[in-house]
Structure 1
């Protein structure tokens, strides 16, 4: 009896692994606004849902690093759901405090940008399977805003 149960578990496991799963990619990281204590960037994530039913996103967790230091992190609870058989754009706002930017002055240097590593975890609720995490990692550089971009 236990052999039959193990075979059934293996069969179900193989079928789940072969199923198409949602995929995500970072499409843009851009300056959004300046406040009295921080700068806010907007990360646009494209998430493709291969299923014919909408899928709820349970939460988004992010970590924004520069010079091997975490400069911002956060969680966005219940940001909506993914459209069925379509690509959904999900906005992830990232706030970077000025105090941390000042400590990165050496990296900013003459080119007025921040080299960054962005790690995002989208946790979605797949029917039958349960919570499924889509890990994303993206690196690049962000230009710091100038006076003309802040007041344009």
Structure 2
């Protein structure tokens, strides 16, 4: 009897492991805006849903790193849901305080940009499986705003 239960468990776990899962990628990271206390950057995330029904997104968490340090962390609670059998674009707004940018002065002074790594965790609620996190990571450079950007 135990052998039959083990075979059933292996069969179910193999089927679940081979199920299609939503896939995501970061398509762009760019300057969104400037406020008195921070600089806002916008990360565009494209998520493809292979299922014929929409899937709720529980939350999006992010960590923005530069020079080996975390410069911004946060969460986007209840960002909506993924469209059925389609791609959905999600916007993740990252706020970086000006004080953090000042501490990165050496990197900024070389080329007026920030070398970054953005890590995003997209938590979705899959039927049968439960909460599933899609980890994303991208590296690049973010140009800092110049005076002409501020007063344009």
Is the TM-score greater than 0.5?
yes
**SS class of match (2:107):** helix
Q: Which runs of 4+ in 1 moved over 2 A?
A: none
Equivalent residue of 1:85, what SS? coil
CA deviation string 1:6-25 (max 9, x = no partner) = 11111011111111110000
Alpha-carbon RMSD: 0.8
The alpha carbon displacement at 1:76 in A equals: 1.0
Distance in 2, Cα, partners of 1:5 & 1:35: 60
Contact 1:65 1:117 in 2 (8 A): yes
Aligned length: 152
Question: Match of 2:133?
Answer: 133
Uncovered stretches (5+) of structure 1, i.e. residues with no partner: none
Instruction: Tell whether the 8 Å contact from 1:33 to 1:150 is kept in structure 2 after alignment.
Output: no
Q: Which residue of 1 aligns with 2:26?
A: 26
Q: Which runs of 5+ in 2 are unaligned?
A: none
In 1, distance between residues paired with 2:45 and 2:105?
A: 28
Rounded to whole Å, the distance in 1 between the matches of 2:150 and 2:45 is 24
- TM-score under structure 2 length normalisation: 0.98
